[in-house]
Amino acid sequence: MAKHYEALQRAEAERRRKVVGEPAPVAPTEWDTTPASAPKHKKGLLDKMLSRRQVAESGMETASDLNKRRIAMLQPESFASEQFRTLRGRIDSLATQQAIKTVSIASANSGEGKTMASINLAVVTSMSVGRKVLLVDCDLRQPKIHISLGLEPAFGLSEVLSGKASLEDAVMRVEGVDLDVLPVRGRPSNPSELLASEAMRELIAKVSGLYDQIIFDTPACLGLPDAKTISELSDGVVLVVRAGVTPKQDIETVLEILDQRRVLGLLLNGTDREASQGRPY
């Protein structure tokens, strides 16, 4: 329980920092004592891991981050895109043993790649012949899907759940791919209650009859109930873990929070191709 409590405390502190704009912790200054004439070494693995952690903790967004979130669209033949095809294939294989129409993409904390995984998995799945796919942004606090895909929604998930707009009014088609998206437009004051409402259950039942695959991009698991709520309404969950960033104890805590019977596997994000030829999970 102590491990669980500490992980939740860290997640809540990080969430408050991002909401109120508190400055990120500053790492101690490291002095370079190497003589000017000495040769400079290439950045090592530890340095890369520290850089990834600093970017994740600061919440910084770069053009590279945005492009990675849609790499399956920009570079459909790339190594990363093929890895998401492998992930799609593994989910399809599992679907022969159990119904997996709705899949939640989750992570312990923000900045670990769940939105990137959600978008790219949805894109490669939509490339399957004759398969209708819907990507739903369930992060009513810090939505990123519409920004990543260049969408300007007039309505979104919160408007549909509150009865202010119809599903047909809110769903958007992504240009260049055969993919529908239910984005987030307004940020409600009661996101957890909306996601846990009967309206959300009815919405999932409705889209399940209209689409062959529905992928949910959920908020971070630790510190909020939203991801657990959505995961329990899904047929399966893929947990995204970022190499060098996600603490082991946070992964263990999330696996305790989620219904492990629904967890399809882990997706390791942020590894170098040269360092690892591993699979998506």
Q: What is the 3-state secondary structure (H, E, C) of 63-75?
A: HHHHHHCCHHHHC
**What was the pLDDT predicted at 43?**
40
CA dist 190 and 61 (Å) reads 26
C-alpha 216, offset from chain centre: 9
268 closest CA partner among 281, 257, 255: 281
* pLDDT over 50 (residue 162): yes
The answer, yes or no, to whether residue 275 has pLDDT greater than 50, is no
Per-position b or e across 188-197, b if 16+ CB within 10 A of its CB: beebeebbbe
pLDDT tens-digit map of 85-142: 999 999 999 999 999 999 999 999 998 999 999 999 999 999 998 899 999 999 999 9
Domain locations in the chain as residue ranges: 63-269
pLDDT, position 46: 40
Percent of the chain whose predicted confidence (pLDDT) is above 70: 73
Q: What is the pLDDT of residue 17?
A: 53
Q: What class is the 63-269 domain?
A: alpha beta
Tokens of 202: 């009815």
* pLDDT at position 243 over 80: yes
Residue with the larger pLDDT of the pair 223 and 140: 140
- Which backbone phi and psi does 51 adopt, to 5 degrees? -60, -45
* Average pLDDT score over residue span 30-44: 36
Reported as a single tens digit per residue, the pLDDT across 55-75 is 444 445 666 667 678 788 878
The pLDDT assigned to 70 comes to 79
**Residue 77 — pLDDT band, cuts 50, 70, 90?**
confident
Q: DSSP string of 120-178?
A: HHHHHHHTSTT--EEEEE--SSS--HHHHTT---SS-HHHHHTTSS-HHHH-EEPTTSS
3-state helix, strand, coil in the chain (%, to 5): 40, 10, 45
pLDDT for residue 13: 59
Task: Give me the phi and psi of 104, to 5 degrees please.
Answer: -95, 135
Tell me how far apart the alpha carbons of residues 189 and 175 are, in angstroms, rounded to a whole number: 31
